Every structure is written in structure tokens, then in C-alpha cells.
Amino acid sequence: MKIVILSSGPALYSTRRLKEAGEQRDHEVRVINHMRCYMDITSKKPKMLYQGEPLGKVDAVVPRIGASRTFYGTAVVRQFEVMGTFVANDSQAISRSRDKLRSLQILAKQGLGLPITGFAHSTKDIDGLIDIVGGAPLVIKLLEGTQGIGVVLAETRSAAKSVIEAFRGLDANILVQEFVKEAGGADIRCFVVGNKVVAAMKRQGAPGEFRSNVHRGGSASVVKLSAEERKTAVQAAKAMGLIVAGVDILRSNRGPLIMEVNSSPGLEGIEKATEKDVAGQIIDLLEQNVGQQRRSRAEH
């Protein structure tokens, strides 16, 4: 197969591992910077060009698009879809997952466990919003934050009000969420490929820190999932339309609660914590799907 990894960081662990895993399985793998792709979107001759040259036929694409490049990156992925290339993940699913509010609404519709979450526009409704999540302590989140930046724990109602007013004053959109204290500053990252969890780790926040993000000083260790956690993670990825996903779960008194679903989950933390070949599982998924695509095209 000809595989393209869309990434603006060829030296990143995830990019390097995907390339290596593809080559180990005798595929031709190219790492391409999506920001340097340009395209002919005309319907009769859709084409992708890279650094002045047509890209030629590609069988499968793995998008690894940073959160700040979602608009252009998903346009590039969509172009591959138009050309009939298999993509893991597709552009719509990536866009969907980048908006925390939209994601939670989609997951809620499927009846999946979520922390109680509220959303409002006007600062006149702050008291009502705080009541929805059962009062303080509560968590306030910027809609498009990542790596724990823009996630704030407000211990009291008055602190919550000031923070919400400040964010809204800057015209930032925020979610207000019940604080799941019993999670103890930890969360579970479930790495889903296709329709199974291929690896899972527990991330524990630094002492005194409620956010478990590795970027905020959290540390990772291997964890055994319950059957319910596995099922929840697979259902969450499916609801989002993602075939490669990092589903983050909080362990609460009322079972697993989904916090977010990531469409470009990093490989370094999970492979190092679990010693599993997650990159290889992603390449296997491409092989299965491209094989299936070829067979069904041959039949028609």
C-alpha cells in the first residue's frame, strides 16, 4: 500500500512510529505536511499536489492534524476522501471531535455517561448554570482548549462566577461541569482502533493538581479496564465516527464518565506505558479497510 501520514512534525514520536510500523509491514510510507498540500477541487479531476508535484495514487491516509490547523487540515483530508482514498479518521469526525460542546451533545444523545454539564450564553444566567451542575466546586472549560489549558477548578460559587464572567467578558465560550472529585486527579485514556480498545493507561495528575494531562506534569501507568469501561470507550468512538480515537474517561461513583474524545491521540505516552505496538494496530486497520475497499470495488 501507499500510505501518507499527514503531519507537520516528521520528528514527532507518533509520526515516526507510524512510518516505522508501515515500513515494517512492507508499505510505502510518506510523511507529508498538510499545510504544504494544495489541491484542484474540480469534480472531474480532483487532485492533490505537494511542494509543486502531483501526489499520485495514495491508498490510505492517517491524519495527524494539530488543533490549531483544523480548518486547513480537514480540507486536505476531505480532498483525499473525494479522491476515494481511505482515511483514518475522516474530516467530519475530526471537526466534530474538536468542539467539546458538540462532542458532548453527540455522546449524550447516545445515552453515554458524562459529567453533568451546562452551557449558556448570557452572564445573566450564571446562577442557573451553576445550579445545573449542583453548585461549587465545579469545573469550567474553554470550548476549544487542549492539554489542560483553559480547564479551571472553581472551589466556591463566587470564584466560579468571577471566572465565568471573565471568560464571557473576553467572548470565550465555556462549558460548566460537575467536578468529579472521586476521580482523584486521574483519568483513563482508552486507545480505540477500529472497534476495540487496543491499549489503555491511567494518567495521574501531579500532587495538588486535578488535571491529569501529561503536559501539566501528569504521569502514566498501565491500567486494567472493566468491561463497562471498554464498552463505553468503543461506543464513544463510534458515536463520534472515529476509527482511531483516544477516549478519556473519569472513574466516578456512578460508573465511567466520558470527558473527551480525541481524534489524533498521541502514541508516545500510551506505547511507553503499555509497551504495546499501537502504531502497528493502526496500520493493520488500514490494511483491513483498503483490502475491503478493493474487494467491493472489484465486485461492482
Instruction: Give the residues lining the site for ligand ADP (CB under 6 A).
Output: 115, 139, 141, 145-148, 151, 177-180, 183, 187, 205, 210-213, 248, 250, 259-260
Q: Which is nearer to ligand ADP, 86 or 179 (CB)?
A: 179
Q: Long-range contact list for 290-298, CB < 8 A, 24+ apart?
A: 290/1, 290/59, 290/60, 290/86, 293/86
Q: Which is nearer to ligand ADP, 87 or 250 (CB)?
A: 250
Q: Which is nearer to ligand ADP, 257 or 286 (CB)?
A: 257
**Least CB distance to ligand ADP at residue 248 (A):** 6
**Least CB distance to ligand ADP at residue 232 (A):** 16
Q: Which positions ≥6 away from 253 have C-beta within 8 Å? A: 182
Q: Which is nearer to ligand ADP, 4 or 176 (CB)?
A: 176
Q: Which is nearer to ligand ADP, 35 or 67 (CB)?
A: 67
Q: Helix (H, G, I), strand (E, B), or coil: what is residue 61?
A: strand
Q: Which is nearer to ligand ADP, 31 or 242 (CB)?
A: 242
**Least CB distance to ligand ADP at residue 156 (A):** 16
Q: Which is nearer to ligand ADP, 76 or 249 (CB)?
A: 249
Distance separating alpha carbons of residues 291 and 261, to the nearest angstrom: 27
**Least CB distance to ligand ADP at residue 250 (A):** 6
Distance separating alpha carbons of residues 175 and 155, to the nearest angstrom: 16
Among 110, 138, 113, smallest CA distance to 255 is for 113
Q: Which is nearer to ligand ADP, 180 or 245 (CB)?
A: 180
**Least CB distance to ligand ADP at residue 50 (A):** 31
Q: Are the beta carbons of 249 and 188 closer than 8 angstroms?
A: yes
Q: Please state the separation of Cα 79 from the chain's center in Å.
A: 21
Residue 259, amino acid: M
Write down the residue that cell numbers 464571557 correspond to. 168
Most distant CA pair in the chain, distance: 65
Q: CA 231, 235, 237, 239: dihedral to nearest 10 degrees?
A: -170
- Structure letter (DSSP) for residue 169: H
**Least CB distance to ligand ADP at residue 25 (A):** 32
Cis peptide before 89 (omega within 30 of 0): yes
Among 296, 272, 280, smallest CA distance to 22 is for 280
**Least CB distance to ligand ADP at residue 107 (A):** 13
DSSP lists the bridge partners of residue 62 as 5
**Least CB distance to ligand ADP at residue 178 (A):** 6
- Structure letter (DSSP) for residue 158: H
